[in-house]
A and B are shown apart, each in its own frame.
Chain A
């Protein structure tokens, strides 16, 4: 693995290898006196974030540090980006300064892909930590890790992705990864929040949450991304009101009773409690939301291991 830019086209065998590594890392770190592995000593990892983030940035930083890499955080708001430096120049600067890996989050879809082209000569590995409404591959990997842990395997499992699919890179990454790993994905959303070309994705589509819940093994609730709902001007609305959205597509306590006993509730965070998910549901035993965050560290350690542990070896 040279870069991790998307789950679309990611070899399922490689994805499984990363998930297996994450599982072993989790096991081996459990109950240890020293939660630090020497594996990436001397490697430099830079996180370059052009958007706000708590869990992704922190979990990449912890992942790098637990593998003994040197991790440096650059956020657009406190860097030369503020003085008008372009993404390309910023990236070339980071590579010249000695980054072995750049982890980027950017509001523009395709930013990570562009970066991998600009830095090809420098040999810097790129990890996409979320680019616009395109992909967020490590989130999908940690969701898959959490589902594997709770359900055993993804093969033949039915997973509903509910809510603002249109603006969700998490949804897109999950659709590709979960279906590649053998799961059936069903999107549940109002027609206004489904992307164009949804018929080309390996999914089925539904607008009725109540009808889908009894048959799913897991339900992934998406945040309603108000900050991205500006395409048609600030007044553009994708649903009549928050209250109506919540009534139609929110996972409340009544709906949770429709789920099978073993079903898992996921949310990539940050959660809007009371909007797409009720507080009681988010804190219920079916919810794996804090496990997702915990697994995020191990999955990102596994990604860094597969990207950086060996030098120039193809695999």
Chain B
């Protein structure tokens, strides 16, 4: 994932899949699903830990936690999990800058961890995240929340919470823009594949 600002220009062959309002509604719906699936607020249940995968998973995890707090009254702990050092394509690319990892102070042992990312594509990022997670502790269970699932899995990985399923061709690119990183909220479908998606 690159951290450069996306969507600076809007060339032809680009279509908006989710507007800013859609993004907000989608995250709210995912928050309801998380509350239901993890039985949050029910007696004795501990809140899940939301770990965003940088760059755009990190603000998504925070937004999801805000919505969960709004609907259930309980704010789950959040954090960020950089997976750069666990990627399987490091050898093929120039060295990347590392992003911030920040685990909640309570740790992840015996917690339900929900990994949060913007786009689910090949599944390789999530594979790397699972490896990274193992070095930080032993969660009770790991779930996955993504804003967009675009298909083309290369590994046996699926998401537990999906904002929007978008059937794509490999020649297309999905770009998620978030105001924290890019200055605005939108999801775009591009005709050109983006070189560094995975």
Contacts and interface: CB of A to CB of B under 8 A. Distances in A.
A306 B97 CA distance: 9
Nearest to A21: B98
B122 interface: no
B196 interface: no
A89 to B, nearest CB: 30
B86 A309 contact: no
Contact of B90 (A20, A21, A31, A310): A310
B93 interface: yes
Contact of A33 (B90, B101, B135): B135
Nearest to A301: B85
Contacts of A34: 134-136
Contact of A38 (B85, B95, B102, B103): B85
Contacts of B82: 24, 28
A15 to B, nearest CB: 13
Query: Taking each of B82, B94, B103, which has the highest tally of chain A beta carbons within 10 Å of its own beta carbon?
Result: B94
Contacts of B15: none
A306 B94 CA distance: 9
A300 B105 CA distance: 27
A24 B94 contact: no
B136 A39 contact: no
A310 B94 CA distance: 6
A36 interface: yes
A196 interface: no
A32 B86 contact: no
B182 interface: no
Given A38-B86, A39-B85, A39-B90, A309 B95 contact: yes
A226 interface: no
Given A39-B86, A310-B90, A310-B92, A20 B97 contact: yes
Contact of B135 (A1, A20, A36, A306): A36
A311 interface: yes
A305 B95 CA distance: 7
A174 to B, nearest CB: 24
Interface residues of A, number: 24
A1 B95 CA distance: 9
Contacts of A313: 92-95
B135 A310 contact: no
B91 interface: yes
Given A36-B135, A38-B131, A314 B91 contact: no
Contacts of B97: 17, 20-21
A310 B90 CA distance: 5
Interface in B35-88: 82, 85-86
Interface in A283-315: 305-306, 309-311, 313-315
Contacts of B100: 24, 27
B180 to A, nearest CB: 19
A37 B135 contact: yes
Contacts of A21: 97-98
B137 interface: yes
B99 interface: yes
A170 B181 CA distance: 40
A38 B102 CA distance: 19
Interface of B: 82, 85-86, 90-95, 97-103, 131, 134-137
Given A27-B102, A32-B136, A305-B95, 17 more contacts: A24-B98, A27-B100, A28-B85, A28-B101, A31-B103, A32-B135, A33-B135, A37-B85, A37-B86, A38-B131, A39-B90, A306-B95, A309-B90, A310-B90, A310-B92, A314-B94, A315-B94
12 contacts: A24-B99, A24-B101, A33-B136, A33-B137, A36-B135, A38-B85, A39-B85, A305-B95, A313-B92, A313-B93, A313-B95, A315-B94
